[in-house]
Amino acid sequence: MIDEGKPIFVQIAEQIEDDIIDGVYPAETQVPSTNEFAAFYRINPATAGKGVNLLVDDGILYKKRGIGMFVSDGARERLVAKRRDAFSDEYLRPLLAEAAKLGIGAEQLTRMIQTAADERPATPHIQTTPTASPSKGVSA
């Protein structure tokens, strides 16, 4: 689950962001503690704390003293907006670079995207996952 090359704390922050976008942690719910994240991902607790603090600095999470970390109101909407801004750089450009390498033109690529989209079963916008906290058993 943790891959090399990217700071682990950034990956922890992204993982929590993903879970907020997916609706695992709705607004005003508590997220697992730093120590729970550390144990689950098998990483140093300070590293996990750094990831959580990244989201606190961004206003995505906020701290309730003596209780824990909670998802801010409107966090999901802000994360979706941020990810949309990054979509072109992170997904479209690499896709186009690979397509160009293979001689796939923009028009053909558009058709391929349309075909793939048609084949894809309709999925609800927000996926709800039954567990609100990460469970053991997912391989690291």
Partner 1 sequence: MSAAPAPTSIAPAVQVSGLTKRFGSFTAIDDVSVTMKPGRIHGLLGRNGAGKTTLMQLITGQDFATQGDIHVFGEKPTENPRVLQNVCFIKESQRYPEDFQPKHVLRSAPWFFENWDAEYAEQLVDEFRLPLNRRIKKLSRGQLSAIGVIVGLASRAPLTFFDEPYLGLDAVARQLFYDRLLEDFSEHPRTVVLSTHLIDEVANLLEHVIVIDQGRILMDEDAETLRTSATTVVGPRGAVDEFVRAREVLHRDGVGGLASVTVAGLSASDRSQAAAAGLELAPVSLQQLIVRKTDVRETGIEQTA
User: Whole-number minimum distance, CB 23 to partner 1, in Å?
Assistant: 28
Interface residue with partner 1, options 17, 31, 47, 54 (CB under 8 A): 47
Question: One symbol per residue from 76 to 105: x for binding partner 1 (CB under 8 A), - otherwise; what is it?
Answer: ------------------x--x---x----
CA distance 56 to 104: 43
User: How far apart are the C-alpha atoms of 34 and 53, rounded to whole Å?
Assistant: 10
Binding piece for partner 1, criterion CB under 8 A, among 13-21, 36-44, 69-77, 123-131: 36-44
Task: Please classify residue 64 by burial: count the beta carbons closer than 10 Å to its beta carbon, then call 0-12 exposed, 13-18 middle and 19+ buried.
Answer: exposed
Residues numbered 50-69 forming contacts with partner 1, rule: CB under 8 A: 50
How is residue 22 written in tokens?
């997916």
SS3 of the chain: helix, strand, coil, percent, to 5:
55, 5, 40
Which residues are at the interface with partner 1 (CB under 8 A)? 2-9, 34-35, 38-39, 41-47, 50, 94, 97, 101
